[in-house]
Amino acid sequence: MYREQTLKKFNPALDNILYILHDLQDNNPEHYLAKEDIRACADYLEVPYSYVHSVASFYTMFSLKPRGRYIIRLCDSPPCHLMGSQSLLDYLKKSLDVKVGETTKDKMFTLELTSCLGACGVAPAMMINEEMFGNLTPAAVDAILEKRRKEL
Amino acid sequence: MNLVRNHVLISIDAGTIMAGARAVEKALIDEIAAQGLTAEISVLETGSIGATGQGVILVVYPEGVYYGNVTPQDIPELVEEHLLKGRPLKRLILSEIPVQHVIKKEKTGLLKEQPRIVLKNSGIINPENIDEYIAENGYEAIAKAITSMTPDEVIEETKKSGLVGRGGAAFTTGMKWDFARKAAGDIKYIVCNADEGEPGTFKDRLILEGDPHKLIEGMLIAGYAVGASKGFVYIRGEYALSIERLEKAIAQARQYGLLGDNILESTFSFDITVMKGAGAYVCGEETALIESLEGKRGHPRNKPPYPVTEGLWAKPTVVNNVETLANVPEIILHGASWFRGYGTEKCPGTKVFTIIGNVSTPGLIEVEMGTTLRDIIYEYAGGIKNGKKFKGALVGGAAGAFLGPDMLDVKMDFVNLKEYSAVLGSGAILVMDEDVDMLDMLKSVLHFFRHESCGHCVPCRLGTAQLVKIIDRISASKGKKDDIDKLLKIAQVMQATSFCPLGQSLYLPISSSLKYFGGEIHSRVR
């Protein structure tokens, strides 16, 4: 079980909670914090389930809903907005046929928005999982998504 | 040992990795080997040189030639022309790279002058090699402090330098340290705020990626001054490369005995732990950051007590920004009066700016405090893209102020901008050309705040929602006559009653956009 192995890596101290939740989420096959993940973390840290849920729901990098293999996080902060992130968002919604926060039917992509990624020099920018992409255009987005589809 | 004829530096940072730097690096090493030049030419990794949007960047020394937008396909030609035949490959040379190192007295011709204190090593040394940092006088300042200065003298020197917090609040660093030193208690903490979330800001990321040891040394000095033996760096979860580089640097510093017990055989002990955030703008506020470090929701705390007396786990805690701490080693090494030789009387030193938006060459520059907005835009960032006219700039991030064309000659420092009811903030400058719809920009700012309001206090939680509702209405041409007054009034109430700076700061972008672009915005309501 990934949960036990994940928890073992950390001291059962409350100040490790973000690390633990990051790790549980990364190891969850559906890239989110399931009830079982939250329960495991709560038991390990000896805090109520509600406490861990309150922390997990506060931070935008944690998801309480199942997500796809690739999590697209498009920046919509003012610098990227100025450089056209809105039209990219419309394009992504249309080409993936999802709304923000939803996952494609084939469970490949989840579309999310994020605050500034610090990649403003190459705005508009997005992240897919840990990887950053900048100077985005619809054509560039198509190529990036296509590459990931083919990798399967 | 072989004599190396050329050093080729390749910039490996989040931006260049995005542009394919790893593939270029591999092609370069392979091509050099194929040409039998491995013994004569050394390929080294370094941090960002400050330019963004220029693709993969290589620097060839000793000539100091900067290449940009390099692809693996360019490598055979580049190696043959420059490294084999000694003829720089003109078509790839970057002419507008704003790098010069006054401290190093290095001249590179076309390049604009920049006094680099904080970014002295960035784009020069390999950030993953502690020896390269040490070769650039690294860890000399902490050695000087431990061996020849008392903690009080370190604080005094920092106070005298006039260094103020570079995260935006501009509080005197030496004073903060002094409060924490004098606070009761044996256990004290140094916390570095690397939760860089102000839209348009990426200076801390490039410091962390380009010169992580400088931050470690700054924290060591702060720890020595305050009497702390434990430090934390709170980094945004999105900054994967920063976290990786800093953790490597900490491990190396431990190996060298520069972190741990009895540093440099003194009685001073200090160690650093990296904490990874999880995406919350409000955690840039120091008390919210402390809550998050303790493993809670990142809600801000009531102040006072301030962190310097009751911070992390209720112990005296200094919270300093990355850039602030990165200034410290140079101040201790060269002295307060040397530092005061840069910048203005009231605001000494340099500032790292991120200059982005509709400019020809967006990027990161370090210039003296008091440099004009015009110089930053036209001298360093190559002016407005496509020869268009300057319309305005958003200075200081989303929590900053809009400035109009008549403010181009304003001197950019903390003290001076205050006189114009503006702020320097984190140093983000978002430039807008003549075609930009200012109402749309303001809308984007308000949407940002609605998303990032943490929900802890009523004025901010409800206020941001109302502001978004109103601006969306105006933007859809359904605005009512008094809507703009309402925006201002709500923001005013939020400024007066919000619990933390997040809710208090919306008044500034709203009032300043109306000050400079009021006609345009008013014309959008019937």
Is B399 within a domain?
yes
Determine the residue of chain A that is closest to B448 in CA distance: A77
Q: B382 with B97: CB under 8 angstroms?
A: no
My answer on whether B324 and B372 are in the same domain is: no
* β-pair partners for B390: B433
Q: Do A115 and B281 touch (CB under 8 A)?
A: yes
Sequential DSSP letters for B210-259: H-HHHHHHHHHHHHHHHT--EEEEEE-TT-HHHHHHHHHHHHHHHHTTSS
ipTM of the complex, rounded to two decimals: 0.96
Is B13 within a domain?
yes
With 0.80 as the threshold, say if the pTM is over it: yes
Domain positions in chain A are: 2-58, 70-151
Is B166 within a domain?
yes
- Which residues in A lie closer than 8 A to residue B279 (C-beta atoms)? 59-62, 114-115
**Nearest CA to B238 among A9, A16, A119, A83?**
A119
My answer on whether B86 and B170 are in the same domain is: no
My answer on whether B211 and B310 are in the same domain is: yes
Residue to test with chain A: of B296, B323, B388, most A Cβ within 10 A: B296
The pLDDT score that the predictor gives to residue B255 is 97
Is B268 within a domain?
yes
Q: Do B238 and A62 touch (CB under 8 A)?
A: no
My answer on whether B180 and B276 are in the same domain is: yes
User: What is the b/e burial string over B89-109, where b = at least 16 CB atoms within 10 angstroms of the residue's CB?
Assistant: beebebebbbbbbbeeeeeee
Last residue of a domain, which of B417, B433, B449? B433
Domain holding B359, by residue range, is 350-433
Across chain B, mean pLDDT equals 93
Q: Measured between CA atoms, how close is B457 to chain A, in angstroms?
A: 14
My answer on whether B189 and B289 are in the same domain is: yes
Last residue of a domain, which of B433, B460, B490? B433
Determine the residue of chain A that is closest to B398 in CA distance: A78
Read off the CATH number of the domain in which B165 is found. Answer: 3.40.50.11540
Determine the residue of chain A that is closest to B237 in CA distance: A61
Is B488 within a domain?
yes
Q: B430 touching A, CB under 8 A? A: yes
My answer on whether B70 and B173 are in the same domain is: no
Q: B46 with B133: CB under 8 angstroms?
A: no
Residues 6+ apart with CB under 8 A from B476: none
Residues 6+ apart with CB under 8 A from B282: B288, B298, B299, B300, B452, B453, B454, B500, B502
Cβ under 8 Å to A: B residues 27-66: 51-53
Is B97 within a domain?
no
Cβ under 8 Å to A: B residues 150-169: none
My answer on whether B84 and B143 are in the same domain is: no
Among partner residues B205, B278, B441, which is closest to A22 by beta-carbon distance?
B278
Read off the CATH number of the domain in which B360 is found. Answer: 3.10.20.600
Q: B353 with B365: CB under 8 angstroms?
A: yes
Retrieve residue B301's tokens: 């705390």
Angle at B182 between CA B181 and CA B186, to 5 degrees: 70
Which amino acid is residue B81, in one-letter code? E
Which amino acid is residue B381, in one-letter code? A
Read off the CATH number of the domain in which B63 is found. Answer: 3.40.30.10
Among partner residues A14, A81, A120, which is closest to B295 by beta-carbon distance?
A14
The pLDDT score that the predictor gives to residue A38 is 98
Determine the residue of chain B that is closest to A120 in CA distance: B200
Is B209 within a domain?
yes
Q: B344 touching A, CB under 8 A? A: no
Which amino acid is residue B400, in one-letter code? G
pLDDT of chain B, 526 residues: tens digit per residue: 467 888 999 999 888 988 899 999 999 999 999 999 999 999 999 988 877 778 999 989 888 788 999 999 999 999 999 999 889 898 998 865 544 433 333 333 234 678 889 999 988 899 999 999 999 999 999 999 999 999 999 999 999 999 999 998 999 999 999 999 999 999 999 999 999 999 999 999 999 999 999 999 999 999 999 999 999 999 999 999 999 999 999 999 999 999 999 999 999 999 999 999 999 999 999 999 999 999 999 999 999 999 999 999 999 999 999 999 999 999 999 999 999 999 999 999 999 999 999 998 888 889 999 999 999 998 888 899 999 999 999 999 999 999 999 999 999 999 999 999 999 999 999 999 999 999 999 999 999 999 999 999 999 999 999 999 999 999 999 999 999 999 999 999 999 999 999 999 999 999 999 999 999 999 999 7
Q: Measured between CA atoms, how close is A79 to chain B, in angstroms?
A: 6
The pLDDT score that the predictor gives to residue B112 is 64
My answer on whether B287 and B201 are in the same domain is: yes
* β-pair partners for B45: B10
Q: Do B452 and A115 touch (CB under 8 A)?
A: yes
Task: Classify residue A41 by burial, with Cβ atoms within 10 Å: 0-12, 13-18, 19+.
Answer: buried
Q: B98 with B53: CB under 8 angstroms?
A: no
The dotted CATH code for A70-151 is 3.40.30.10
Retrieve residue A80's tokens: 């990227």
Distances (CA, A) of B230 to B264, B336, B373, B398, B413: 17, 26, 39, 33, 32
Q: Which long-range contacts (CB under 8 A, 24 or more apart) does B65-70 make?
A: B65/B93, B66/B93, B66/B94, B66/B97, B66/B99, B66/B108, B66/B111, B67/B92, B67/B93, B67/B94, B68/B92, B68/B93, B68/B94, B68/B97, B69/B19, B70/B24
Q: Do B18 and A122 touch (CB under 8 A)?
A: yes
Over its C-alpha atoms, chain B yields an Rg (Å, rounded) of: 24
SS3 B377: helix
Last residue of a domain, which of B308, B339, B370? B339
Number of domains, chain B: 4
pLDDT beneath 50: ranges in chain A? none
The pLDDT score that the predictor gives to residue B227 is 98
Cβ under 8 Å to B: A residues 88-147: 113-123, 127, 130-135
My answer on whether B310 and B391 are in the same domain is: no
Helix axes A17-27, A49-58, angle to 10 degrees: 80
Read off the CATH number of the domain in which B457 is found. Answer: 1.20.1440.230
The pLDDT score that the predictor gives to residue B95 is 66
Among partner residues B296, B354, B440, which is closest to A120 by beta-carbon distance?
B354
